[in-house]
Structure 1
Amino acid sequence: MLDVQRGGAIQALTRDVLIRRSLEMSPNGFITIISIIQGVALALLAQNAFPSPSPLVICQSIALMMVFVAIFYYYLTLSILIRWAPSFLDCFLPFAVAGLEIPPAFFLGNTVAWNFSVAALWLFFALALWITTKWSPPSHFAKVPMAHRRYLQGLQECRLCLILGGTATAACGLFAALDPGHNLFWGLTGTTTVLGAIGAQIWRIEIRVSQIHALYGVNRPPFN
């Protein structure tokens, strides 16, 4: 009888350790992957921006830098709010999202290519958010269903910002291709659109994260 009880206790302990390790792996892995790829993207951005610092290149570089910050901020926030056992798709998405940050660094000064590459990043990121929304059950937020609703609302708002921003940025690229005489105008319009989408996304995340923390009695004001 003692052996059976001891075996059951060991099995339960092993299961708890396995679950804990599995759940702790996803956020740490995401942040590590994003940080490494963004380091490469940042190096490429600096390498391609400094040799020809025209007004358009400077604006595109600033916008792309803010894209890096916004994506890192999203994954850092995600790693605080939820935990899950990583799957192949979970491993693929961070590489794909962060990898799409690299092409715009090669297109600095090229209005059409830069706008289309950033639009592709935004729209794929929106798809990744949809997948995250689908696989984020209420169990992530214990016995506070309102926190789960606020979390889903935040993801839906961010996805809307990305879809609108990506579509508008792609439109700027299309107009630049059809109207090459106003390359600078469409380039600056594209960077302004990207910055606007980033601002809206961060604004909604800050509001929703503040609301979620308040539900658990934690004072976390927006933009604190």
Structure 2
Amino acid sequence: MMWGVAAESHDFARAKHRRLPEQRTYLNHAFTTRRAYEESSNNPVWYEHGEQPARGEAIQALTRDVLIRRSLEVSPNGFITIISIIQGVALALLAQNTFPKPTALVSAQSFTLLLVFVSVFYFYLTLSVLIRWAPSFVDCFLPFAVAGLEIPPAFFLGNVTAWCVWLAAFWLFTMAGLWITAKWSPLSHFGGAREAHDLFHTWLRELRLVTGCGGVAIFLCGALAAGDPWHKTVWGLIASATVLTTVALIVARTEARASQIHAYFGVNRAPFN
């Protein structure tokens, strides 16, 4: 029994004198792996050996196809990222200013603003599916100019006049942004499919009408609340109902037109699915 223990201890002592494994750097590992892959019979790609990659070398040279692909990838991601950042700030302010004073008016205004945030994100998501282009300064400016107007109403929960004025400005700026979008969406975006192009522009005209009328109506509610402060809660609730109606019309027209455009190209997108 003691002999067995001694043997085990002797083996353990010998194991301590093993040769340390060869140190592997990232480049050694990469080149060893690549060499083994090149020499295997499963590699259908011919590879020209060259020098080790230098710092700052390109991994993909710029060509027409590469530029188009990058633009298509960056355009929607940039829009959604900007909108997400702005709405994150707006949601934080909305929560901060809602819970300390959850009156009927503040609750109605807060719920209304929440649906406005959802409708803006929904619109940009739908737009990114239907059309894309190489991002420019205007494309970066418009989301900040339009979606940024979602933030001030969250500061003025309970203040009917200020809340209405800021939301009226938001809808009117949205109407201007829709006009710019229509201007820079020619037939080429739809591959020459004029019917789909007409449906898209009809949708933008409908949204311009809805946002324009909604902006004017909400501004009038704010003006009436300023002139009749004794019934500001009533005017605030009417303004909230007006905004909710505007959002409902935007969603309804977007669902209908987007479904028609998808159906034209043979893609199944049932409205309100």
Does 2:149 align with 1:100? Answer: yes
SS in 1 for 2:123: helix
Query: Structure 2 matches for 1:58-207, cutoff 5 A?
Result: 58-207=107-256
Shift of residue 27, structure 1, vs aligned partner: 1.1
Shift of residue 62, structure 1, vs aligned partner: 0.4
Unpaired runs of at least 5, structure 2: 1-60
**Matches of 1:69 and 1:24 in 2, distance apart?**
23
Q: Quick one: which amino acid aligns to residue 90 of structure 2?
A: A
Shift of residue 218, structure 1, vs aligned partner: 1.3
**Matches of 2:63 and 2:167 in 1, distance apart?**
45
1:24–1:83 Cα contact (<8 Å) kept: no
Instruction: Flag the structure with larger Rg.
Output: 2
Shift of residue 176, structure 1, vs aligned partner: 0.4
**Considering only aligned residues, what root-mean-square deviation do their CA atoms show, in Å?**
1.1
Q: Quick one: which amino acid aligns to residue 128 of structure 1?
A: G
SS in 2 for 1:109: coil
Give the TM-score normalised by structure 2. 0.77
Once the two structures are superposed, what CA deviation does each residue of 1:144-172 show, in whole Å capped at 9, x if it has no partner?
21111100100110111000000000000
SS in 1 for 2:63: helix
1:126–1:162 Cα contact (<8 Å) kept: yes
Q: Quick one: which amino acid aligns to residue 212 of structure 1?
A: I
Does 2:100 align with 1:51? Answer: yes
Q: Quick one: which amino acid aligns to residue 53 of structure 1?
A: P
Q: Which has the higher contact order (CA 8 A, sep 6+)?
A: 1
Shift of residue 23, structure 1, vs aligned partner: 2.9
Q: Quick one: which amino acid aligns to residue 76 of structure 2?
A: P
Give the TM-score normalised by structure 1. 0.93
Residue equivalent to 2:64: 15
Shift of residue 143, structure 1, vs aligned partner: 3.2
Aligned residues: 213
Question: Once superposed, which parts of structure 1, at least 4 consecutive aligned residues long, lie more than 2 Å away?
Answer: none
Residue equivalent to 1:221: 270
Match of 1:27 among 76, 87, 90: 76
Shift of residue 13, structure 1, vs aligned partner: 7.3
**Matches of 2:194 and 2:76 in 1, distance apart?**
22
Residue equivalent to 1:42: 91
1:138–1:145 Cα contact (<8 Å) kept: yes
Residue equivalent to 1:7: none
SS in 1 for 2:102: coil
Q: Kindly, what percent of the aligned residue pairs are identical?
A: 65
1:22–1:84 Cα contact (<8 Å) kept: yes
**Matches of 2:244 and 2:113 in 1, distance apart?**
9
Shift of residue 24, structure 1, vs aligned partner: 2.5
Higher helix share: 1
